[in-house]
Structure 1
């Protein structure tokens, strides 16, 4: 007859350390996502700012320092410069 063996395991988790590891992983993933694209098209711009095309046009699209270039019939936006512009523009909208 076989004997039953009971094993009890106790784990202690350092929540601060777990949160720090998760935060670091999220930041690395977001950093990779942001560097994947050199330029955005209008669809990507709309997705990134969560605005409709008409709202984009009526708010910041025609501002002189908004980086854009039209190639053929399509608008393109350099990713890094556009992100920097949007950061400044949103801060300005918040009154910062």
Structure 2
């Protein structure tokens, strides 16, 4: 006979951990990001993002009232192109 014992605390911890992973994935895959999500994606502070990217007229951005929004896939394409150009010029990214 097989006996299974379940630690409810451990089960709840695993369940909550899995839910958080899925929520993080949904957030990552969302189409539009706000400025905080952009900073998190780029691992940069907002002043650095403003200096290096927001001031660039080619950077994909949308101003909606006082809020900045960014299309995730367009930002990824821009950053890929930007990093290639930076390397071509001999700078480190």
User: TM-score band (shorter)?
Assistant: 0.5 to 0.7
Which is greater in Rg? 1
SS at 1:65 equivalent: coil
Unaligned runs of 5+ in 2: 1-24
Cα RMSD for the two superposed structures: 2.3
Q: How does 1:9-24 map to 2 (within 5 A)?
A: none
- Unmatched runs of 5 consecutive residues or more in structure 1: 1-31
| Deviation for aligned residue 1:34 | 8.3
Correspondence for 2:7: none
* 1:58 correspondence with 2:65: no
TM-score by length of 1: 0.59
How far off its partner does 1:33 sit?
6.0
In the alignment, which of 40, 43, 51 is matched to residue 47 of structure 1?
40
Pairwise CA distance, 1:94:
2.0
Q: Distance in 2 between matches of 1:58 and 1:88?
A: 18
For residues 26 and 77 of structure 2, what CA distance do their matches in structure 1 show?
Answer: 16
Taking the aligned partners of 1:95 and 1:46, their CA distance within structure 2 comes to 25
> Once the two structures are superposed, what CA deviation does each residue of 1:29-81 show, in whole Å capped at 9, x if it has no partner?
xxx66872111110111001111111111112211110111112110001111
TM-score (normalizing by structure 2): 0.61
Count matched residues.
Answer: 66
